[in-house]
Structure formats: C-alpha cells, structure tokens
Amino acid sequence: MHSTPNGSPGTPAGHTADVAIIGAGVSGSCVARRLSAYELDVILLEREVDVCFGVSKANSGIIHGGFHHSPDYLKTRLELQGNLMFDRLQRELDFPFSRCGILVVALSHEEMKYIDHLYTQGVANGAIGIEMCSRERMFELEPKLTTDCVGGLFAPGGGVIEPYRFVFSVVESACKNGVRLATGFDVTHVKRDNDLYLLHSADGRTVRARYVVNAAGLYADTVSRLFGAEEFAIRPRKGQYYLLDRMTRAAPQRVLFPVPTHVSKGMLVIPTAEGTVLIGPTAEEVEDKTELSTDAEHLSDILDQARKMVPAVSQTDIITAFSGLRPALDDPDFFIAVSQRAPGLIQVAGIQSPGLTAAPAIAEYVKDLLKQAGCRLTEKSDWDPFVTRVPRIRDFTPFEADELLRQDPSYGNLVCRCEKISEAEIVAAIRRGHDTLDGIKYFTRAQMGRCQGGFCTYKIIKLIMRETGMRFDQITKRGPGSAVLTGRL
Ligand SMILES: Cc1cc2nc3c(=O)[nH]c(=O)nc-3n(C[C@H](O)[C@H](O)[C@H](O)COP(=O)(O)OP(=O)(O)OC[C@H]3O[C@@H](n4cnc5c(N)ncnc54)[C@H](O)[C@@H]3O)c2cc1C
C-alpha cells in the first residue's frame, strides 16, 4: 500500500500530527482506524513497503474464544472484547471471517481434568456459550476427530479470519477517514522539541507529533529505547506451519486445539477462513527477529501432532511451509500503558497471541489511554466505517458472473487458477497500492494455491508493469532487496 500524499517524502517540514503511530500491523492499524473517528491529525508510520508485512501476516488467523487465559490478564479482557467486535467489523470492512467455533480435544481422562479447568476459566472470563462435551457430542460437532477422543470443550464464539485482508481493510478505512499512511518510514531517531516529538526515518523524512503510539511488534523494545522510555526485551518465539490444499479430506469444520502446554496452546488443525487448512504452530525461542526458516524436524512433529487429532491429515496435501514470530515479553501479558518515562508515548508491546483477536479492543483501550494522557477527542460527524467491496469471481454463481463480466470483461480472465482470482481483482489490488508480489498475494490470494505462483506470477508481473508503468526489474516480492527479475527481458 502506498504512502498517502501527505505521508510521502514531500510531507511539509513544519506539519505536526496530533498522533503518530509506529507500526502498521494489526495493532497500529486498528488504533489508526479508531482514532480516525475523531477530529485528529493521525499519521501511521510503517518501515515496510506495505502494511501487514510483520507478525500480523503469519499466524493462525484464529479469533480466540476467551477461555485459554486467566482472568487476571489484560489480554484476556481484550481478547473477549475483541472477539465480540468482529461481526460488526466484517459488515463494515469486508474481510473473510467465519465464526466456525473452537473445539479443545481431550485424548485421555487425565486431559479431561484440564478441560474442566479451561471450562471454569472460560466461565469466569465471561466467554459466551462454552460447553463441556462428551465424546458423542465431540463427534457430533466434528466427525473427522480421532476415535481416541474422550471428550472436550466447545467454544461456539471462536472463529477464523484472513489476517492480511483484515489489516488491509482496516488501513483502507482509516485512510478514507483522513489518516495519513507513510510506508517505507523506518523510525530510527527520535528527538523531543518542547512538547513535540520529532520522528526521523532512515531515508531522511521527519514527522512531528504530540502523541506517539509504539505498536512496532517485534521491534517495540528498540522503539521504546529510541524514546528513552521503559526498558524491556521482546523475545521472538517462532511458530512453524504447514498449509494444506483446500481439497484435503482432513479439513475440519471447526478449529481444533489439543489440551495446551505451559508454553503454548499446542499444535492445531485450523480450517482457514478461505477454505484451506493450516496445521501447527510450533513454539520455539529464537534470538534473531528475522529468523523465519522452517525445518524438517519440527515440520514432521507438526504432522504427527495434527494426526493425533485428525488421522486423515496427509503429507500429500501439503502445499507449503512457513513460519511467524510471536513478539513475546518475559511477562506473559500485553504491555499497553502510557509511558512513565516518555510523556505522551503509549506503549503497545508484547502483543503475542491473542493479539489478532484483541486488536480492535486494543484500539479502544489505547484511545482511552490517549485521553488520559491529555489528547482531546472530539467525534467527527461524518466518519464512514465502510470500505468499498471488491467483487471476487469465485463467490459468484454462473448467472451472477455473467452480469459481472458484462460490466467488466477482465473478470473473465483467470490469472490464478488454483485460487480462481481474476485480472480485475489483481488490478483492484494494484490500484489500492499493493504493487509487490506479496502485497497482491495477501490482498487477492493469487499465488497462495497449490502451484504457489508457478502459473500466475509472470502474469501478475505483467499486470503490475501495465498498471504502474514499472520496469520488470523494479518489481519486487516485498520491497527493496527482493527484486524478482534481473537481466534483460
Ligand atoms: C505463530 C503465531 C500464531 C498466532 N496466532 C494467533 C491467532 O490465531 N490469533 C490471535 O489472536 N493472535 C495470534 N497471533 C498473534 C498475532 O499475530 C499478533 O499478536 C499480532 O499480529 C501482532 O500485531 P502487531 O501489530 O502488534 O505487530 P506487527 O504485525 O509485527 O506490526 C508491527 C509493525 O511495526 C513495524 N515496525 C517495526 N519497527 C518499526 C520502526 N522502527 N519504524 C516503523 N515501523 C516499524 C513492522 O514492520 C510491523 O509492520 C499469532 C502470532 C504468531 C507469531
């Protein structure tokens, strides 16, 4: 997504934002949209070429059910509040979301004791509709379960979303309501000038702001240091996954969790919001915040664990493997607070799982913290919560598709055959500023299917060239340093 005009290198030097948000992942983007409802000048700063290229792009996509964590944590409250906000958000923002429900699968009577604990905890947290299940009830809810299942827990309010489409829509909505987006803006230096912050980027741009929100994900510790604020360390915890083809016989109807371990919620079988299946994630402490490799040993463990719940999981259904890094603090809770050391700085750090679920509620919480810190909030009378829907050819019946083709024949040119994505949808992504291969992949799903872009990548490159006027050697996978074609055409 491109910088909006005022966030570009031409930003007036003397221009002052009321609030600058560092980081356009799900946390920063939801804060930006929430603040766009007020008479505020808000700028969203992102170091990558597009939004949602950090932690928010590689996760399980689950809208959690509110029973996994103790009521003592802030994250538990925000998870429950966030969960309840998704139906309305989907109506406003048009992203794939299914409230398919969550099952926790017990494979022994010993594990049923933990299910009992999760149930009691969920009730104490206020999770709506959760249910202790007998073996029979579990099979009624999910026929693909292993016959070893002895019972479990059902949380009907849990679900799945497509995280990148969610974030893209959130940012589109924020920008429609006046938020400026500055991509490629890597905040590397911060100075205090009376009651303003001067945020300098690596490429020489400067933004002045009265209040700043640190939503920098894995780098929230580095950003905090730039402000001379709280000292904490973000310790990445890697999660590896396998993605299974949408044709797999193993696709469950609900998200399946094992009984959790002390470090993670365990390895899951997830029917994604777009019809594929994810299995994973692992939970591995790593030092390097860019270490996203996958390895055979952990992946084979994922297969074993997934088969314990759904025996039909097959190696031949695997399309690809990937990993994400949880931005964990030593404290298991989120750290969301007005900084005690840097005036006007709001810390949004340690946003590991359930950060995706909690993000809309995090935005409410941050809005209240800004008010506490002195930021004046006056509601706009003309705030518009809706984004324009992009029709997707695969959602249409043949009769509806005929009508769509009459309006725009490029819906008839299927660029990505695996995911059934038309030229019109790719062009819509490019015209919204997603002009890298990954940006288009996350916006449309083209390149995400069985062939992983083998068939469509070249066609997408040609469309980017046609729509933007870029040369082939300017086209990248995900911004500077990731050119896909070199030499002569
Ligand atoms: C394996 C895994 C599974 C998960 N599963 C789930 C799940 O199923 N459900 C759920 O609710 N949560 C889940 N989560 C958690 C969820 O993904 C995160 O909580 C959430 O994505 C964090 O979003 P964020 O915006 O805080 O961070 P990010 O998405 O990382 O955003 C931070 C942004 O800040 C930018 N940035 C960093 N430094 C700077 C700088 N100096 N200047 C400018 N920009 C900067 C980065 O480029 C990045 O885009 C999972 C996480 C992982 C890793």
Tell me the average pLDDT across 291-307: 95
Ligand 1, residue 355: give the atom nearest the CA. Answer: 19
CA 354 to chain centre: 11
Q: What is the pTM of this model?
A: 0.96
Among 29, 53, 55, which residue has the most ligand 1 atoms within 8 Å of its CB, making it the best to mutate? 55
User: According to the model, what pLDDT value does residue 8 have?
Assistant: 44
What is the Å distance from ligand 1's center to 207 Cα? 23
Q: State the Cα–Cα distance between residues 243 and 408, nearest whole angstrom.
A: 33
Ligand 1 site: residues with CB under 6 angstroms?
A: 22-28, 45-48, 53-56, 59-62, 64, 185-187, 215-219, 223, 239, 281, 324-326, 351-357
Length of the chain: 489
What is the Å distance from ligand 1's center to 291 Cα? 15
Ligand 1, residue 53: give the atom nearest the CA. Answer: 49
pLDDT at 457 over 80: yes
Residues 253 and 322 in one domain: yes
> Tens of pLDDT along 127-144?
999 999 999 999 999 999
User: According to the model, what pLDDT value does residue 210 have?
Assistant: 97
User: According to the model, what pLDDT value does residue 263 have?
Assistant: 66
What is the Å distance from ligand 1's center to 327 Cα? 7
Residues 310 and 194 in one domain: no
pLDDT at 7 over 70: no
Active site residues per annotation = 64
Tell me the average pLDDT across 169-198: 97
Pairing of strands 180-182, 42-45: parallel
Q: In whole angstroms, how far apart are CA 76 and each of 82, 355, 358?
A: 10, 10, 8
Asked if residue 18 is part of any domain, the answer here is: yes
Residues 25 and 151 in one domain: no
Question: Mean of the per-residue pLDDT values for the chain?
Answer: 95
Residues 87 and 168 in one domain: yes
Residues 108 and 166 in one domain: no
pLDDT at 14 over 70: no
| CATH number (domain holding residue 191) | 3.50.50.60
Higher per-residue pLDDT: 186 or 10: 186
DSSP result, 300-332: HHHHHHHHHH-TT--GGGEEEEEEEEEEE-SSS
Which residue's CA is minimally distant from atom 48 of ligand 1?
54
Name the token pair of 211: 């209040």
Ligand 1, residue 218: give the atom nearest the CA. Answer: 30
41 within 8 A of 221, measured Cβ to Cβ: no
User: According to the model, what pLDDT value does residue 489 have?
Assistant: 55
Name the token pair of 297: 């040993």
User: According to the model, what pLDDT value does residue 1 have?
Assistant: 77
Asked if residue 185 is part of any domain, the answer here is: yes
Which residue's CA is minimally distant from atom 19 of ligand 1?
355
Asked if residue 487 is part of any domain, the answer here is: no
Tell me the average pLDDT across 303-325: 96
Tell me the average pLDDT across 3-10: 52
DSSP result, 107-131: -SHHHHHHHHHHHHHHHHHT-TT-E
User: According to the model, what pLDDT value does residue 485 have?
Assistant: 86
Residues 218 and 355 in one domain: yes
Residues 16 and 92 in one domain: yes
Closest CA to 264 of 406, 69, 441: 69
- Number of domains observed in the structure of the chain: 3
| pLDDT classification of 262: cutoffs 50, 70, 90 | confident
> Tens of pLDDT along 335-349?
999 999 999 999 999
Tell me the average pLDDT across 360-374: 98
Closest CA to 277 of 245, 300, 308: 245
Residue 137 burial (C-beta neighbours within 10 Å; 0-12, 13-18, 19+): middle
Q: State the Cα–Cα distance between residues 92 and 235, nearest whole angstrom.
A: 35
Q: State the Cα–Cα distance between residues 344 and 211, nearest whole angstrom.
A: 5
Collapsing DSSP states into helix, strand and coil, what is residue 459?
A: helix
| pLDDT classification of 192: cutoffs 50, 70, 90 | very high
DSSP result, 267-305: -EEEE-TTS-EEEE---EE-S-TT-----HHHHHHHHHH
What is the Å distance from ligand 1's center to 106 Cα? 30
| CATH number (domain holding residue 417) | 1.10.10.1100
Q: Which domain holds residue 153?
A: 99-159+235-326
> Tens of pLDDT along 52-99?
999 999 999 999 999 999 999 999 999 999 999 999 999 999 999 999
User: According to the model, what pLDDT value does residue 488 have?
Assistant: 62
Q: Which helix (H) or strand (E) holds 191?
A: strand 187-193
Ligand 1, residue 237: give the atom nearest the CA. Answer: 53
What is the Å distance from ligand 1's center to 219 Cα? 10
Residues 172 and 27 in one domain: yes
Asked if residue 461 is part of any domain, the answer here is: yes
